Amino acid sequence: MSILDINLHQESIDKNQEYWDRKPLLRTLYGDFYRLIAKQLSKLPASKIVELGSGLGNIRDVIPECIRTDLFPNPWIDQIENAYKLSFTDESVSDLILTDVFHHLKYPGTALNELHRVLRKGGRVIMLEPCLSALGLLVYGASHDEPIAVIKEIEWFAPETWKPENIDFYAAQGNATRIFITKKYRPNLMSWKSIKTIRLSAIAYAASGGYSKPQLYPTAFLPFIKNLEKILDLFPALFATRLLVILEK
């Protein structure tokens, strides 16, 4: 990871903090996402919950016991972690949470093997990712800076000469949908006891503008949009923009 990459990451964090502080709707919607994630936790005894790629670290508002980690230090980050080479011992973690992290992992098979290693039996990986549907393709393809890469070949494992420290920026917003919704990659996921996916329209978030885009509706309209989501959720192939993935060991 170059100094330039580190500086760009910190600039992004600083900008996101500004948006977070001045955009109440963003805080409300992420709170909803975190509560949804919390419902999927393994509930193993003596739980050890870890978030990878914690960003601003706001998951603690909903899951106060969560260990917040990232590639880079910040005052709110509990420890530095690399998804390809975690510091945790074998079978020591009950739950791993990744919010908008998986599509930045260039070698998903290598990362998933590492997540599998540190999880206890019955432990879970819970990931919130972009979801590709008719609407999702529009949201992420036409109005987002990162590529969706729907036809680009996925490199499942890292080359033998590659080292976890040699991470370059990578983004492919379509990877979670391609890997966990379609059947092509199911043979690569046989080590997991179960795979559960929940596709969400998440229109309230998509139209909120996220961190950097303009908010497209008044905050007072949120209850109406949340009710609309319940209908749109019935047609995930058309309207899903968010994908919740739960892998159990």
What are the tens digits of pLDDT across the range 38-65?
999 999 999 999 999 999 999 999 999 9
Whether residue 5 has pLDDT greater than 80: no
CATH of the domain at 163: 3.40.50.150
pLDDT at 171: 93
Single out the residue of 79, 27, 84 nearest to residue 48, CA to CA.
Answer: 79
pLDDT at 13: 87
Single out the residue of 124, 129, 89 nearest to residue 105, CA to CA.
Answer: 129
3 state SS of 81: coil
Whether residue 176 has pLDDT greater than 60: yes
Going from the C-alpha of 59 to that of each of 30, 80, 86, 88, 98, the distances in angstroms are 8, 16, 20, 20, 11
What are the tens digits of pLDDT across the range 114-140?
999 999 999 999 999 999 999 999 999
User: What is the distance, to the nearest Å, from the Cα of residue 57 to the centroid of all Cα atoms in its chain?
Assistant: 13
- Other beta carbons within 10 angstroms of residue 189's beta carbon come to 14
- Which of 8-12, 138-142, 187-191, 207-211 shows the highest mean pLDDT? 187-191
Listed range (49-53, 61-65, 146-150, 187-191) with the worst mean pLDDT:
146-150
Q: In what order do the strands lie in the sheet containing 242-248?
A: 79-80, 67-70, 49-52, 93-99, 119-130, 242-248, 194-200
Buried b (16+ CB within 10 A) or exposed e, 3-38: eeeeeebeeeeeebeeebeebebbeebbeebbebbb
* Average pLDDT of the segment spanning 167-184: 94
- Other beta carbons within 10 angstroms of residue 1's beta carbon come to 14
pLDDT at 212: 82
Task: Please tell me the total count of domains within the chain.
Answer: 1
Instruction: Point out which residues pair with 99 in neighbouring strands.
Output: 128
One-letter identity of residue 5: D
Going from the C-alpha of 107 to that of each of 60, 160, 213, 236, the distances in angstroms are 28, 12, 29, 27
Single out the residue of 133, 54, 131, 145 nearest to residue 96, CA to CA.
Answer: 54
177 and 231 Cβ atoms separated by less than 8 Å: no
In which domain, by residue range, is 13 found? Answer: 3-248
Distance, in Å, from the CA atom of 24 to the CA atom of 29, rounded to the nearest integer, reads 9
What are the tens digits of pLDDT across the range 154-169?
999 999 999 998 888 8
Buried b (16+ CB within 10 A) or exposed e, 207-228: bbbbbeeeeeeeeeebeebeee
Distance, in Å, from the CA atom of 109 to the CA atom of 187, rounded to the nearest integer, reads 11
Listed range (12-21, 102-111, 173-182) with the worst mean pLDDT:
12-21
Instruction: Point out which residues pair with 119 in neighbouring strands.
Output: 93
